[in-house]
Chains A and B, each alone.
Chain A
Amino acid sequence: MKKSLFDQGYLDEQFCQVEDLQDEASPNFVEEVVTLFLKDSGRLMSNIEQALEKYPRDFNRWDAYMQQLKGSCCSIGASRMKNECMSFRDSCGQGNVEGCMRAFQKVKREHAVLRQKLESYFQLLRQAGATGAATRSIK
């Protein structure tokens, strides 16, 4: 499943690096980071949403918020979401309100999709882990 995530472009190299950081010392590192990311990005996105409503045409503000979100996406390797963030920023740069709105919708969608996929991914991991543990215990 992980492979499909990569193939479809949801995740990229950076995610591998994050996974590499997981070891005996931090066994659930990846899951922790992903959870953190999903939570934080949700927050950032609602900030952006508010800003879109409350500060019309305030491209600088929008851009600043999106910059933060993009940074998060980069760190975790969420590449499709990152791309949508970049297109949002492009629209901001062009002063294109319509474009920003559209891009933001895409960002939200990607976020939702990613959340779903990652959650099922971790579920699979847990199952595999459980199965492995069960297998080991049988031995």
Chain B
Amino acid sequence: MTVEERQGKVNGGHGSKDQFPVGMRVLAVDDDPTCLKILENLLLRCQYHVTTTGQAATALKMLRENKDQFDLVISDVHMPDMDGFKLLELVGLEMDLPVIMLSANGETQTVMKGITHGACDYLLKPVRLEQLRTIWQHVVRRRNCDAKNGGNDDDAGQKSQGMNNEVESVGANRNKRQSRKGRDENGDDGDDSDENSNENADSSTQKKPRVVWSVELHRKFVAAVNQLGIEKAVPKKILDLMNVENITRENVASHLQKYRLYLKRLSSDASRQANLAAAFGGRNPAYINMNSFGNYNAYGRYRPVTPTTHTQSNNLLARMNSPSAFGVHGLLPSQPIQLGHSHNNLSTSLNDLGVVNNGNLIRGAQMPTILTGPSGNSFPNISNAAPLATANRSLQPLESSNQQHLSRVHTSSSFCTLVGESPQFPDLGRTSNTWQNAVPSNIQEHGHNDSMPQATLHMNGPKIEPATSFTGSSNQIPLLGNEMQSQVASLASNVPMTFNQEAAPFTFGSTTNSRDMISNNHLFSNSGISTSLPNLRIDNSVVPRQTLNGGNVGILPMQDGRIDHQDVSNQLNYNDDLMRSTRLQRGLNGGLDDIVVDMFRLDQDDDGVPFIDSDWELV
């Protein structure tokens, strides 16, 4: 199929702004020429400027050539040359454009994937005119958000008035046309009211030059955030620290928001991976979950973790992980880990992990290698068998004390003990969140509770970075099974073995190592990030360090996760992935974009959970 590129009336300038949404510039990407043609005409009928292409690569090229050329991108999900989700991430990250996904596949899971990747909307084929009539709202919304970061609300109000008027008139015209054709009356009415009632912030008609967050810029951003501390990172200060011209506080603010989402996603992934990791070692992730849940109850100490919790924890972990990913590198856990967000759920999940781990994981020697000092650099070397036993014991005490601490288990001392034994769980509770991220990486912090994440992160930092910048945030990535260890070991080599010393400060979130494991599993099992991520992460983290230094590390893992998401379905292949991490690395190098995108994308998912401490600094 030849790529069909047809230029509608693409107007790169701002001439049509005043009539917004008329003249909105849309880029449509779909490998199916029939759909593309119909879509193009539908969009033209809505009076947008349309550019079409059948290939994602071409679309990216066009977008990169001139970032200010389009207002909105509509993309198919299934495309031969590039996955629609990947394109989605890249666009969101690099160009900060709203992207709408389009597909004949309306399964909840797929739609969910689209949304978590940052899509503004998800339309089902066949697309109808009424649906397209209101897509401009996404452009406005985005502009609004950006403007609000420092925008003038008064102006917004006035402008929206103007916009509304325009909208009404446009809507009226459309309605007329539609009625004439005898189209859906209801649809028309609906559209009309949507348009009329739409309140647009002022910037709807304004065009702001887009800031491109290059790798370099992002790295500075992350460094600034880490320096300030995730909790304290406010756009103004970040901006000052970054000391870059031509970006405004608003740019930084929106970027920060995305970053947070990214971290969140990492932590949720991490927690999931942790879970997997916990069960890892040849066990099915399902096993872990099942066990964890089951064990959890048995333990009594742990709170029962329900699947939903995992999800939550995953999110937390993801978040946590992300921060860790970013700032983990070399940072000591001294800073409070914000993993706590995950709330009890995470803890529970962690607990579960712990439980599971204790029961099975430990034996399975999957035991996430505890980065802690005792094991020395070998966090990967954590002897699973032995430690487990000890860990279990230690866990218990930790557990009870920390049960709910996602936020930071300052059981550094306990952690230490755990560590000595072969920490598996110390941070489980807390780290669960981070696990997700962490997991992929080698850091097998068994015991990293969510709260620990900070600590774990540090520990994992070195480790994590390579593997999972993600994990950094949450539980330092419960070390997944043995394989991980080896992987981690390799990665660890990249990372200074600082953990050992740092391990101590880790506050193992008493919650049980299981969390960590869980998070690890989560990481792996993350919806998107399946096992391949861990591998990627590891590689990524390593790579970034070498190449990017800082900021990027976090990104890389993400990227991988993204990519792998599709491949990895259930982290079971985690081990395999780890092995392949090197391969991935190679593959990833070219994907800095992806990483960055990935990072940003995560931000979109942010629901306000604080990042994991930015202590970790990427490489």
Name the residue among B34, B45, B181 with the largest chain A CB count within 10 angstroms.
B34
Given the interface pairs A40-B34, A72-B32, A75-B32, the reply to whether A21 lies near B125 with Cβ below 8 Å is: no
A-B CB contact pairs (8 Å), 11 listed:
A17-B42, A21-B38, A26-B41, A36-B37, A40-B1, A43-B1, A64-B78, A67-B105, A75-B35, A75-B38, A76-B38
Question: Using Cβ atoms and an 8 Å threshold, which residues of chain A touch B38?
Answer: 18, 21, 33, 75-76
List 18 additional contacts besides A20-B129, A67-B104, A71-B35; criterion CB under 8 Å: A17-B42, A17-B183, A18-B38, A26-B41, A33-B34, A33-B38, A36-B37, A37-B34, A43-B1, A68-B32, A70-B104, A71-B78, A71-B103, A74-B126, A75-B32, A76-B34, A76-B126, A77-B126
- Which B residues from 36 to 81 make CB contacts under 8 A with A? 37-39, 41-42, 44-45, 76, 78
The number of residue pairs between A and B whose CB atoms lie closer than 8 Å in the complex comes to 64
Give the chain B neighbours of A76 by CB distance below 8 A: 34, 38, 126
Q: In the complex, A77→B125 CA distance in Å?
A: 10
* B34: A residues at CB distance < 8 A: 33, 36-37, 40-41, 72, 75-76
Interface residues of A in 78-92 (CB under 8 A from B): none
Which residues of chain B have C-beta atoms less than 8 A from A37's C-beta? 34
Q: Is the CB of A17 within 8 A of B32?
A: no
What CA separation (Å) do A25 and B40 show in the bound complex? 13
Contact with A along B76-111 (1 / 0, CB 8 A): 101000000000000000000000000111000000
Within 8 A of A (CB), among B19-43: 31-35, 37-39, 41-42
A33 to B41, CA, bound (A): 10
Instruction: Please name the residue on chain A nearest to B103 by beta carbon.
Output: A71
B: residues with CB less than 8 A from A are: 1, 31-35, 37-39, 41-42, 44-45, 76, 78, 103-105, 125-129, 181, 183
Is B181 within 8 A of A20, CB to CB?
yes
B5 CB → nearest A CB, Å: 15
- For A29, A43, A67, A71, the residue with the greatest tally of chain B CB atoms inside 10 Å of its CB is A71
CB pair B1 A71 closer than 8 Å: no
A39 nearest in chain B by CB position: B33
Q: Measured between alpha carbons, how far is A56 from B78 in the docked complex, in Å?
A: 22
Closest to B127 in A: A75
**In the complex, which residues of chain A have a beta carbon less than 8 angstroms from the beta carbon of B181?**
20
Query: Chain A 2-33 against B: per-residue CB contact (8 Å), 1 yes, 0 no?
Result: 00000000000010011011000110010011
